Structure 1
Amino acid sequence: MTGLALVFLTVMGAGIDFLVVNRLQAQIFDEAERAAVNWGASLQPGSTPRPVPRTDIDLLQLVDSRGRVVTASAAAEGRPALSTVRPPADDRIQSRTECSGGGECVMLAAFRVPQPETPGLRPDEPLFVYAGMTRPPILAGHRLQLLTAAGVLLGVVLAAWVNWWAAGRNMRPVEVIREHLSHITVSDLSQRVPQPPGCNEHALLVCTVNQTLARLEEAVKLQRRFSATTSHELRTPLTGLRTRLEEAVLYPADVDPHETIREALSITERLEAIVDDLLVLARLRSGTPAAHEPIDLGALVAQEAAAQAGGVPVRVHVDRDVHVRGNRIQLIRVLNNLLANARRHAGTVVEVTAGHADGQAVVTVTDDGDGIAPQDRERVFERFVRLDDGRRREPGGSGLGLAISRDIAQAHNGTLLVEDTPRGARFALRLPIQRETPAPAAPAPDHGERGERGDLDHLDHLPDRAGQHLQEHAEQR
């Protein structure tokens, strides 16, 4: 900014110098010409009165053609002819600057006196009037340039000081913000930066900083709560596993080793399910988008509902042309979680529908069980939250299925909510509908579809050892 001020003021100073010099010179020459013409016109035949200057043009001389001074003003008395210029008859007046050997310069105008006006003076030769003044000091030396340079330097210094003051004044609130932020640590995120008055950039910056701190505080609270809950959920089966193994070691005669191994495998399967669900949650929360493809949601719902063998029957009502764009594996996981949850709590039947509503694809899974209390309809989507009825019906559950399902719905720009229903519980999955109808895909054999999509949740229907082998094979692929 100071550099720009220096360039601007230098250019402006040079322009002012040029204008001042030209203006002053033009003014002096104009006055000299006017004085020369007026005096020359006032000469009377037979007389050469001494001129009396009435302006700053104090050097006036009447000179003949041989350079002899006929008469002069008081200031020019005793001086030789001010100039040797002799204006011709067709160009009676000329302006110029004459400098002597002593360094003195005179700005003057030379005027050729018309012959008819001086018939009695010297009719045989022309006369010339010289009118001028000593060149002013401001034009004689470099005083104007020095004054301009001093003014430019002063202006640059003033501009630099103003910029420094303005920058300091503008940065002072930023320094206050920085100082407050330096005292905020991850151990105490409840502090906030004081909000300055007004609606300027600093106030908006503080507002954004406080909003970011609030989100960060909430994220840290969720992370801490998640860590504490995860530690508790993992510690419980690990404690049970350690107890079984210690009993087998301390009391080998009283403990059946086969029974201990079966119980240890059951606990290990629960630990494995919890870890797998935690990995899925971590991938969903990392924000890394999964590969999406056009999906016929109605056909997918009918297919997954038909795969629910045994237990409570599932009734399916599916509309045609319910197409969405998403990740097939993740949507299958959501449907399986909802179907498993509904069959676990249903009394006699589970109803599944897929259709359109308000420009969205809607999948509902409804059971005829005891339902979910209104105050618990959001809590069931929290991680490791299991209601009393759920703990009673499935003691080994991880409490992560619905949390994973909601995260998947949100990753697809959709929602997963518990809606009102006359009886039981209804889960509604809403996804953005795809307007373009995808090209029909070639049908795949039923026996190979589950193995290709690698959804490890379906291995729960297989025997333990066979499921483990198939799971390892799917992971290797």
Structure 2
Amino acid sequence: MSSIDSVLRRLRSENPSERLEAARFLANNARAAHAKSIREALAKETVVWVRGALQRALERCAPAQTMSSPSEVDQDDFTADFAAQVHAEALETTTAQLLHEVEPLVGSLKLAAQGDIANYETSLTKTVIDRLDSLLEALARLRRAASAPRMEEFDLSVFLDELLAEFDPRPPIVVQRVGPDHLILIGDKTLLRMCVLNGLRNAVDATLALADGVEQAPLTLAWGSTNKEAWVSIVDLGIGFAGSIQRAFDIGTTTKEGHLGMGLAITQQSMKSMSGRVLLVPNKRGTRFELRWPIGREA
């Protein structure tokens, strides 16, 4: 950014990514003279990530004044948003550092093993290295989930149609689609793609566990919106969910052999990034997996 004036102008941008860039710059460079502009921007800001950076910028301007002015900043909101921002940034930084160090080592290990081990393609070594690769891919998705969302306007019905065309669950699974056409809203398509695909894969696995000899095993993919939220729901008639719903979102929790247990944790972090949530609801038969996030404002 060329000047502080251009930074302050970007705080009024309609593009949340530009506002976030400006707010993060001010979090490291703000001075007392900028406090008024930052407060004005904070009063209008709805995006969690931008609010967190603006609050840190205010602290840099005048720490004592910032913390003693509850009339200008909602302190309860400050605490929740700030904690979420710090946690997400720490998660993103940690996974980035880990990937930077470990990915080259795994790549070198794979090359060495291919040259040193006879029948490498059928060896236990390849199985273990492939599992390491899967772990690194999951960590990369977790890092993406923890980063600031890239919000854009899109048609949810078209988005889901394109995702299903790519997913192709194959018989006996049949996906029944229920939702309005041309539902325009705001969200991060990359994060939503990870979340919906995870929900579909889990639903397929649960359904196939009961679908032996069945000609058709239906899943229901539904979507819609209220005056406050958009939602996507995936309902299966599979084996259902056993265990603690709360613990299901912890990293490493899984009932599937050979799985890393990171899918729901990544989904939860992705939805938090958009100020949304993920619900896992056991039914009498099967499970409902639901994503919800705000609409009518930029998350």
TM-score range, shorter chain: 0.5 to 0.7
Corresponding residue number in structure 2 for 1:425: 287
From 113, 117, 135, give the equivalent of 1:274.
Answer: 135
For residue 193 of structure 2, what is the amino acid of its counterpart? I
Corresponding residue number in structure 2 for 1:412: 274
- 1:283, distance to aligned residue in structure 2 (A): 4.3
**Equivalent-residue separation in structure 2 for 1:398 and 1:345 (angstroms):** 17
From 166, 172, 181, give the equivalent of 1:320.
Answer: 181
Q: CA RMSD in A?
A: 3.7
For residue 122 of structure 2, what is the amino acid of its counterpart? E
Asked if the contact 1:305–1:339 (Cα under 8 Å) also holds between the matched residues in 2, the reply is no
After superposition, residues 255-266 of structure 1 pair within 5 angstroms as 256-260=119-123, 263-266=124-127
- 1:407, distance to aligned residue in structure 2 (A): 0.8
Corresponding residue number in structure 1 for 2:153: 294
- Equivalent residue of 2:176, what SS? strand
- 1:415, distance to aligned residue in structure 2 (A): 0.8
After superposition, residues 39-438 of structure 1 pair within 5 angstroms as 256-260=119-123, 263-285=124-146, 288-309=147-168, 310-311=170-171, 312-346=173-207, 347=210, 348-357=217-226, 359-373=228-242, 375-387=243-255, 391=256, 395-434=257-296
Asked if the contact 2:220–2:235 (Cα under 8 Å) also holds between the matched residues in 1, the reply is yes
For residue 293 of structure 1, what is the amino acid of its counterpart? E
For residue 252 of structure 2, what is the amino acid of its counterpart? F
Unpaired segments ≥5 residues, structure 1: 1-200, 202-207, 437-477
**Equivalent-residue separation in structure 2 for 1:257 and 1:401 (angstroms):** 29
For residue 260 of structure 2, what is the amino acid of its counterpart? S
Unpaired segments ≥5 residues, structure 2: 1-67, 69-75, 211-216
Asked if the contact 1:342–1:365 (Cα under 8 Å) also holds between the matched residues in 2, the reply is yes
- Equivalent residue of 1:364, what SS? strand
Normalising by structure 2, we get a TM-score of 0.54
| Closer/same/farther in 2, CA of residues 420 and 322 from structure 1, 3 Å limit | farther
**Equivalent-residue separation in structure 2 for 1:408 and 1:319 (angstroms):** 24
| Closer/same/farther in 2, CA of residues 258 and 327 from structure 1, 3 Å limit | closer
- 1:315, distance to aligned residue in structure 2 (A): 1.4
**Equivalent-residue separation in structure 2 for 1:269 and 1:380 (angstroms):** 24
Identical residues among aligned pairs (%): 23
**Equivalent-residue separation in structure 2 for 1:356 and 1:283 (angstroms):** 25
For residue 411 of structure 1, what is the amino acid of its counterpart? S
Normalising by structure 1, we get a TM-score of 0.35
Higher helix share: 2
| Closer/same/farther in 2, CA of residues 265 and 314 from structure 1, 3 Å limit | farther
Asked if the contact 1:351–1:367 (Cα under 8 Å) also holds between the matched residues in 2, the reply is yes
Asked if the contact 1:270–1:397 (Cα under 8 Å) also holds between the matched residues in 2, the reply is no
Measured against aligned partners, the alpha-carbon deviations of 1:382-427 in whole angstroms (never above 9, x if no partner) come to 111102xxx2xxx332211111111111111111011243310111
Number of residue equivalences: 190
**Equivalent-residue separation in structure 2 for 1:359 and 1:301 (angstroms):** 20
Asked if the contact 1:352–1:363 (Cα under 8 Å) also holds between the matched residues in 2, the reply is yes
Q: Which protein has the larger Cα radius of gyration, Structure 1 or Structure 2?
A: 1
Asked if the contact 1:323–1:361 (Cα under 8 Å) also holds between the matched residues in 2, the reply is no
Asked if the contact 1:368–1:423 (Cα under 8 Å) also holds between the matched residues in 2, the reply is yes
**Equivalent-residue separation in structure 2 for 1:293 and 1:258 (angstroms):** 43
